[in-house]
Amino acid sequence: MANIRNFAGIGLLILLAAACGPTPELATESTPAEHITPVRVVAVELSNAARELRLPGVVRAAQRVEPAFLVSGHLATRFVERGERVTTGQPLAGLQNPALEPSFIAAEARVRELDERLRQLGADYERARELHAQGLASAEMLDRTLAERNATREARAQAVAGVSEARDQLADAVLRAPFDGIVSDLLVEPGDFVPAGRPVLVLAGDSGLEVEVHLPEGLARRLSPGEVVEVRAVQSGARIAGLIREVGLAREGRPAPAIIALGETNAWEPGISVHVALSHAEEAALTVPVSAIVDPGTGQTRLFKIADHRAVAVPVTVGRLIGARVTIQGEIVAGDRVVVAGHQQLLDGEAVRVLP
């Protein structure tokens, strides 16, 4: 009996050991964990900040002129040099035209001739009137004498106007300064033939400085005279306030011009290259950091926004730069969170973990 009990105990131990041991036929394979990419995000912003444009220009005198002769001829004399300061009425250059003085002399002679003719016709009219009163001359003769005298008076008036014109042309053979200023350039040398209307020199006045800039398309209607702008010298970096004085309209082949009057300054002079800084409000636009934009090389830019802890690829159209951000258009709204770091190998729909 004792042996039977011992064998029974040993069997029980074997069964217990077998129950506690591994059972390979029941083991299953474990499922791998989903990969989660750490990323950093920022919010999409709605921007309506002012936009600054820098337009190039050159400082020039606000009062300037390029005087020219009204008749053709040869430049006989030049009374000034480049850089010379002149005063109003000072002679600048003289023209030689052999026909000017003879024309003036002939016009004066014509007036003297008509004066003599008028004296004779006046005497003839008085005699005709006396004879008509005595019945010795017809009314027709009296009327004819009167008409001839009146026609001669009209001819004399025209001759006097011709004298004035010839005198003016003779006087115009000498160019004179219309205002105080500086001779900034000489365009014709003595002895050169000068057609009527061709500029002979350039005169810059002392009544302030200005800059002309050409406005991009659509900007002219956003500006108005009286607005204050900043003007910066290219070389020195000096800055001065400017006032928009005139805004023109664009025409075929040329953008709209704008004239900027400069403030009082003794440090600037004509010829300085400048930039005119124009600020104007832009329409509201969505912006993201430049680092949020992904270009896979297909020419279709996109970014990743976060939705339900996953990265969703959104095609966007990129606009202008505003500092370190860029305007975008696409299926996205202000406040959406977009990935700015960690998206180099990111896939559409991939799970992400937002880093603080």
How confident is the model at residue 274, as a pLDDT? 93
How confident is the model at residue 137, as a pLDDT? 77
**Which of residues 265 and 72 earns the better pLDDT score?**
72
Say how far residue 29 (Cα) sits from the centre of its chain. 74
95-144 per-position pLDDT tens digit: 877 766 677 677 788 888 888 888 888 888 888 888 878 887 788 888 88
Q: Which two tokens stand for residue 123?
A: 């005497």
Give yes or no for residue 170 having a pLDDT over 90. no
The predicted model gives 195-201 an average pLDDT of 92
> Coil, strand, or helix at residue 266?
coil
How confident is the model at residue 145, as a pLDDT? 84
- What percent of the chain stands above pLDDT 70? 85
The predicted model gives 19-28 an average pLDDT of 45
How confident is the model at residue 99, as a pLDDT? 63
Going from the C-alpha of 232 to that of each of 129, 159, 264, 278, the distances in angstroms are 84, 59, 14, 11
CATH placement of domain 37-48+284-354: 2.40.420.20
Give yes or no for residue 49 having a pLDDT over 80. no
302-347 per-position pLDDT tens digit: 999 999 999 999 999 998 887 788 888 899 999 999 999 988 888 8
Give yes or no for residue 284 having a pLDDT over 90. no
Topology (CATH level 3) of domain 53-62+207-281: Elongation Factor Tu (Ef-tu); domain 3 (2.40.30)
CATH ID of 67-92+176-199, from 2.40.50.100, 2.20.28.10, 2.60.120.620, 3.50.50.60: 2.40.50.100
The predicted model gives 9-33 an average pLDDT of 46
Cα first-last separation, the chain: 76
CA–CA dist 287, 293 (Å, integer) = 11
* Residues facing 62 on adjacent strands: none
Q: For residue 343, how many other CB atoms are within 10 A of its CB?
A: 23
How confident is the model at residue 6, as a pLDDT? 46
61-75 per-position pLDDT tens digit: 989 999 998 888 888
Q: Which residue reads 């805004």 in tokens? A: 247
Which helix (H) or strand (E) segment holds residue 293: the answer is none
